[in-house]
Structure 1
Amino acid sequence: MLDSGVDRVPVSRPGFFSRLATTLARLVVPVVALCLVLGVAFLLRDMPMQEARHLSVIDPRLDTGDWLTWGLVVLPAVFFVLNLTSRRYGAALTLTATFISWLLIGGAVGWAVHEGIVANFATEIAPYPEAAALVGALATAQLVNVLTFDWMRGIPWWKAPFLAALIGGVAFSAAFNMRPTALWDDGMVARLIVESGLYFSWALLQLLPTGMMRRTIRPLPGFGGA
């Protein structure tokens, strides 16, 4: 038994400002990475992926034409960033990073329009309904991705990142392509098939760097994972 006469040293807990500083420091890399991926995807939005046109050999309806751009191909990297952040810090901080990245992007676009750098939003960026649909679909997909990862995290290690990236990508494709202003025809069905294949491929390929970084990016105490 412990000697009742021995004084116990109270354990000091980090104060509010200390916890705030730690959280802000943890947010820097995910926020920068998310903004970078979205920025690159935006810059490549008008560059068609010519290599995918051979899909029309399989079925003429799978002809990607000009709609499959390198911007769309790069976009699923968002889910890779979210997966690594969720693995390390959990869902709450990952969702916070997502929210802050959207605030920064929205602020940057608003500033560019106000300063005249972007003279006409509808022609230089996207028509307002399409832009709203894109942001809404991607934000929804990010939420689905983070919640799926948090739900599936554990053993085996690959299950959470694979399913989170796949389900998040399919959610984005469905939400954006099934918007009220979209035209539903055979071409839309083919587009959904091609995009589903794209997100499945991304979900598989991102397991390689994720597996290589498992020992470097370990879950913090309190978050399960292998």
Structure 2
Amino acid sequence: MTRKHIPGILAMAAIVVASNILVQFLFGQWLTWGAFTYPLAFLVTDLMNRLYGPGPARQVVFAGFIVGVFCSLIGTQIMGEFGPLVTFRIAIGSGLAFLTAQLLDVAIFDRLRQGKWWRAPLASTLVGSSVDTALFFTIAFSAGLTFIEPDNDVSWAGEALPLLGFGPQAPLWVSLAVADWLVKLGLALVALIPFRMIVSRAAGNTTMA
């Protein structure tokens, strides 16, 4: 790690901390405010990968993971209305989903880096985001994984409701996951704009130097 990697590490840390705080606040029926900040982690990872390569990108991912673990430990000590703000299942799901999805993002981006400028960030973010959502919500709320934390009652998440309020019957946690995934997909497209601008500016500065 060098000094030029520090902005990426600080940005990732800020996103992880902000997301852990904002996930406590609802946005509508299916989302929290954290759903709109967390996907920016993929933008940071992709920028580090494009500008400095997969090695520094992984370092930023591991830094974000450590910050996330620290946030989870703090969350387990803060009691909310229904118990600790962060349960063991949520901590496991969050950490495993983050690390797996981000490292997958790094690998896919690196494989596609020689193609059109948008292909690597878009493909890696779409795949990484999908894996992230599937892992987190399944581990944290699926009835089939109650053995992870038997004392944690997540029966509320299994309540059968119309998907997103209008689709076929599905457990509540599936609607939460789909809503989260749709936000990630939308932000993956929007993030291409700052990605292009930052990379182009960095390339211009390198040329002038």
- RMSD over equivalenced CA pairs, Å: 2.6
Matches of 1:197 and 1:208 in 2, distance apart?
Answer: 18
Q: Which residue identity does 2:190 align to in structure 1? A: L
Structure 1 segment 63-102 matched on structure 2, within 5 A: 64=30, 68-102=31-65
**CA 1:128/1:29 → structure 2, altered by over 3 Å: closer, same or farther?**
same
Q: Is the Cα contact below 8 Å between 1:121 and 1:127 reproduced in 2?
A: no
The answer on 1:120 being equivalent to 2:82 is no
- Residue 121 of structure 1 deviates from its aligned partner by 5.1
Q: Which residue identity does 2:182 align to in structure 1? A: G
Q: TM-score, normalised by structure 1?
A: 0.69
Q: Is the Cα contact below 8 Å between 1:137 and 1:172 reproduced in 2?
A: yes
Matches of 1:25 and 1:215 in 2, distance apart?
Answer: 21
| Matched position secondary structure for 1:178 | helix
| Matched position secondary structure for 1:148 | helix
- Residue 120 of structure 1 deviates from its aligned partner by 2.2
Matches of 2:10 and 2:141 in 1, distance apart?
Answer: 32
Unaligned runs of 5+ in 2: 144-157, 161-169
Q: TM-score, normalised by structure 2?
A: 0.74
Deviations 1:59-103 (A, max 9, x none): xxxxx2xxx100122110100100100000111111012213333
Q: Which residue identity does 1:200 align to in structure 2? A: L
Q: Which of 3, 21, 26 is 2:4 aligned to?
A: 26
Q: Which residue identity does 2:42 align to in structure 1? A: F
Q: Which residue identity does 1:141 align to in structure 2? A: A
Structure 1 segment 139-158 matched on structure 2, within 5 A: 139-158=99-118
| Matched position secondary structure for 2:131 | helix
Which structure has more helix as a fraction of its residues? Answer: 2
**CA 1:121/1:129 → structure 2, altered by over 3 Å: closer, same or farther?**
farther
Q: What's 1:161 paired with? A: 121
Deviations 1:98-121 (A, max 9, x none): 2133334545776xx6xxxx7825
Q: What's 2:194 paired with? A: 209
The answer on 1:40 being equivalent to 2:25 is no
**CA 1:189/1:45 → structure 2, altered by over 3 Å: closer, same or farther?**
closer
- Residue 137 of structure 1 deviates from its aligned partner by 0.9
Deviations 1:140-168 (A, max 9, x none): 11111111111111231011111111111
- Residue 192 of structure 1 deviates from its aligned partner by 3.4
Q: Is the Cα contact below 8 Å between 2:98 and 2:132 reproduced in 1?
A: yes
Give me the identity figure in percent.
21
Q: Is the Cα contact below 8 Å between 1:87 and 1:218 reproduced in 2?
A: no
Structure with bigger gyration radius: 1
Unaligned runs of 5+ in 1: 1-22, 54-63, 222-226
Matches of 1:213 and 1:99 in 2, distance apart?
Answer: 23
**CA 1:105/1:177 → structure 2, altered by over 3 Å: closer, same or farther?**
closer
Q: What's 2:179 paired with? A: 194
| Matched position secondary structure for 1:217 | helix
| Matched position secondary structure for 1:216 | helix
**CA 1:84/1:190 → structure 2, altered by over 3 Å: closer, same or farther?**
same
